[in-house]
Structure 1
């Protein structure tokens, strides 16, 4: 509960700032997930390195594959049929790899957390994104 109070105060304070740094968001996310999952110290000790590992893998996948697809979508009208086919193939490969990473992460999480806590993590991820989006909307 203290963490949620902290988050509320933090978002109120940053409401006056122009931009929130990635480090601030990561700190908030860490507090939010820890609170939502009620991680014990031993669970947290195992969970965060695993979470950070998969976050880096996801970020790398995004940079290496999704950015290529995204750039192709932005120039779609200028692309040849061959180029659009390559981008579509890259899109499918990106989605497959992303799903594979999620499956690996969940498989490894099962050694650390209960199924209920894994689902609570999914809910916490969704709730955190909604909270960030709402905060962004309120700034406009």
Structure 2
């Protein structure tokens, strides 16, 4: 229990320093460290659970990040175009790609949850979803409070 609190405190102190760093990759890693501390604390993972959980979670997180940011980047350019000039055929193709992307994200999550069932009790799997949502809300709130940097 004390270890989890120490990890969380370390991550929070680390995060204060991290927002002064200009590089996006560094920020991504620092946010990841905060997320690890937050989830570990919220789930109260045992050492055995953490040893099995984190490699799976990191692989899942990397896959979904890549899918959201790399494939969605391709959609963004098309969405920023003049949509009024997009033909129905082009719109239907883009919509199909977006639906495929969402389905792929769902399948990745489903596979991840299935693999967790042998590692964590169902209650902790549900707490994981809540912890992820809570972390994202806090991160967004912190960003809103600081405002975009110029």
Same fold flag (TM > 0.5): yes
For residue 115 of structure 1, what is the aligned residue in structure 2?
122
| 92-101 vs 18-27, which moves further | 18-27
How many pairs were matched up? 139
Q: 1:139 aligns with which of 140, 143, 146?
A: 146
Match of 1:5? 9
Q: TM-score, normalised by structure 2?
A: 0.81
Shift of 1:80: 2.1
What is the TM-score of this pair, normalised by structure 1? Answer: 0.86
Ranked by relative contact order (alpha carbons within 8 Å, sequence separation 6 or more), the top structure is: 1
Contiguous gaps of at least 5 residues in structure 2: none
Task: Specify every segment of 5 or more residues in structure 1 that has no aligned partner in the other structure, as ranges.
Answer: none
Per-residue CA shift, 1:16-73, capped at 9, x if unaligned? x265711111111111111111111111111111111112221232245322222222
CA distance in 1, matches of 2:71, 2:30: 26
**1-side partners of 2:9 and 2:42: how far apart?**
13
Query: What is the RMSD of the two structures over their aligned residues, measured on CA atoms?
Result: 2.0
- Look up the match of 1:85: 92
CA distance in 1, matches of 2:130, 2:14: 21
Instruction: Give the match for residue 104 of structure 1.
Output: 111
Q: Following TM superposition, by how much is the alpha carbon of 1:5 offset from its aligned partner in structure 2, in angstroms?
A: 3.4
Q: Residues 65 and 11 (structure 1 numbering): CA distance in 2 closer, same or farther, change over 3 Å? A: closer
Instruction: Say if 1:68 and 1:14 are closer, same or farther in 2 by CA, change over 3 A.
Output: closer
Paired residues of 2:60 and 2:108 also in contact (CA < 8 A): yes
The corresponding residue for 1:43 is 49
